[in-house]
Structure 1
Amino acid sequence: MKAVCATDLSVASEATIESETCLECLGRIGIDEIHLVTVIPSNVHAGMPGIDFEGRRRRALKRYRRVIEDAGFEVETHVVRGTPHRRIVGIAETIGASLTVVGSRGKSPLENRVIGSTARNLARTTTTPLLVNRIERAADDPKVLRERLFQRVLYATDFSENAEAAFETFSYLRHATQEAMLVHVETPKDPGLPEDEDPEEQLIDLATRLEEWGIETQTKVRQGDPADEILAAEATYEPSTILVGSRGHSRLRRLLLGSVSEDIVARAEGNVLLVPPSGVV
């Protein structure tokens, strides 16, 4: 399996690349080839005096490459120009990546408002599963907040086809997952389930599948706003990663800034793994 690891060469984005535990977790789920990608924004010109942007980035990627190769992965590097999230998505599609990884400093009032952050734009447009790896905010030498990426997973479902696609990622996450909490949020805005379908029973059915893989599993049905309740469950359960489909019932949800998946990316304390529907464009 191939993964794209996007970096802007900041100390925050270095945290994932240089974390032996994070790399070990990626290896345990079947990743064996990592493509390091850094994007020079379109408004940065090669001829700007005194600044060798491309050369500096290539030197940094060479150092990162050694770290990742020493951890046992095959590595390719890409220095490209353009809009960061578009180029990252394009490279992931071109190489057939199974996962895209991007570091994020985590929630802040500003990030909740700014449309242009790479992580939030990737959350809206990614065509491959996206791991938003949470990094310490107020630190000169930031660390990954929860290094054991998939050890303890909070899976949120609305029982849609996309939520089922997200659940199927346990087929490879299970090699690194020990515990899981399965959550469904009932809300007045939810189209609802057929009367003969009990959400608690459906969660138990999913839990049974995970327990067959040796994953210790809990289930919970909550009521309220989906994003708020998922984040409240995160605060209680303290997972290493929230797993959620990146689209809801509505095909238009991906166009709304207030979508559940984007709220979770912006506000979650820990890592978030978003899974887009198959065939998304």
Structure 2
Amino acid sequence: MRAIYATDLSAASEAAIHNETCLECLERIGVEEIHLVTVIPSNMHAGMPGMNFEERREEGLNRYERVMQDAGFSTDTHVVRGTPHRRINGIADAERADLTIVGSRGQSPLANRVLGSTARNLSRTTVVPLLVNRIEREADDPDVLREHLFQRVLYATDFSENADRAFNAFSYLRHATQEATLVHVESPKEPDNDTDATDQLATLEGRLDQWDIDTDTQVRYGDPAEEILEAEAEVTPTTILLGSRGQSRLRRLLIGSVSETIIAQASSNVYMVPPPRTA
């Protein structure tokens, strides 16, 4: 597998990249090649006093590259200019990446920090599965909140085609997963489903049992985002796994807002699987 690792060279990024357990989890799910990417925003200019952006960021990426190589990954680095989420998506597409990784501290009074806004924008537009690695929010010397990335997975499903695509990620996540909680939320805004949700979850549970993953199921009732976050608080997963139905405005209104809310507010890492690439 090939991963894009997006970093702004902040203390939060430093914590994630230097966490050996996180890197071991990526190796277990099959990541062999990592492209380190940092984006200089368009509004930062080389002529600004004391700002040699390219040189400073290349030095930072070179430090990270040595960490990745020492951990056994094949690596490459990219220092680019532009809008962060667009350039990250462009590199992921060009390199035919299997996933994109970005660190985020989640919601805070400074909600528009570059990294936080990038994670939010990637959740809307990513062309490959997106792993949001959660970092401590207020600490001066931050660390990752859930270093065993895929040990305990909370999988949220609405039984859609793309939720099924997200579930299929267990085919490789299982190498690092010990426990899973499968959650479906019955929403009053959604039409009734003729198939019983409990039966559908039991079928998925049976598939995970074959991989010796200790599995529990929940059918909840209410607002999907709120119920998924409540389930997270109860079971404290290391990662929430879910799908996104796409990028159109209508789809975002229906379901994209759920994945965006989870990425913004969850304490756990989030692994979001988007629809297939268009030709």
Check conservation: 2:36, 2:61, Cα contact below 8 A: yes
Check conservation: 2:242, 2:259, Cα contact below 8 A: yes
**Distance between the aligned counterparts of 1:279 and 1:87, measured in 2?**
16
The answer for the alignment partner of 2:260 in structure 1 is 262
One-letter amino acid matched to 1:270:
S
Secondary structure of residue in 2 paired with 1:171: helix
The answer for the alignment partner of 2:215 in structure 1 is 217
Cα gap change, 1:122 to 1:165, in 2 (>3 Å) = same
The answer for the alignment partner of 1:169 in structure 2 is 169
The answer for the alignment partner of 1:39 in structure 2 is 39
TM-score, length of structure 1 as denominator length: 0.94
Matching of residues 1-281 of structure 1 within 5 Å: 1-108=1-108, 111=111, 117-194=117-194, 197-247=195-245, 252-254=250-252, 259-279=257-277
Check conservation: 2:244, 2:256, Cα contact below 8 A: no
CA positional deviation for 1:44: 1.0
Check conservation: 1:108, 1:267, Cα contact below 8 A: no
Q: Deviations over 1:104-140 (max 9, x none)?
A: 012335539x9x8111100000010000000001111
One-letter amino acid matched to 1:40:
I
**Distance between the aligned counterparts of 2:278 and 2:250, measured in 1?**
12
Q: Which runs of 5+ in 2 are unaligned?
A: none
One-letter amino acid matched to 1:152:
R
Q: Deviations over 1:138-180 (max 9, x none)?
A: 1111000000000000000000000000000000000000000
CA positional deviation for 1:254: 2.7
One-letter amino acid matched to 1:15:
A
One-letter amino acid matched to 1:66:
R
**Distance between the aligned counterparts of 2:255 and 2:201, measured in 1?**
28
Q: Which runs of 5+ in 1 are unaligned?
A: none
Check conservation: 1:111, 1:266, Cα contact below 8 A: no
Check conservation: 2:150, 2:239, Cα contact below 8 A: yes
Cα gap change, 1:83 to 1:257, in 2 (>3 Å) = farther
Q: How many residues align?
A: 277
Cα gap change, 1:263 to 1:179, in 2 (>3 Å) = same
Q: Deviations over 1:230-278 (max 9, x none)?
A: 0000000000000000228x97223679710000001101100000011
Cα gap change, 1:255 to 1:127, in 2 (>3 Å) = farther
Identity %: 70
Check conservation: 2:245, 2:256, Cα contact below 8 A: no
**Distance between the aligned counterparts of 1:165 and 1:187, measured in 2?**
21
Q: Deviations over 1:206-250 (max 9, x none)?
A: 0000010110100000000000000000000000000000228x9
**Distance between the aligned counterparts of 1:159 and 1:242, measured in 2?**
16
Check conservation: 2:124, 2:256, Cα contact below 8 A: no
Cα gap change, 1:27 to 1:256, in 2 (>3 Å) = same
CA positional deviation for 1:46: 1.5
How well do the aligned residues superpose, as a CA RMSD in angstroms? Answer: 2.0
CA positional deviation for 1:25: 0.3
**Distance between the aligned counterparts of 2:44 and 2:253, measured in 1?**
28
**Distance between the aligned counterparts of 1:201 and 1:280, measured in 2?**
33
Cα gap change, 1:280 to 1:223, in 2 (>3 Å) = farther
Q: Deviations over 1:90-117 (max 9, x none)?
A: 10011011110000012335539x9x81
Check conservation: 2:245, 2:255, Cα contact below 8 A: no
One-letter amino acid matched to 2:95:
I
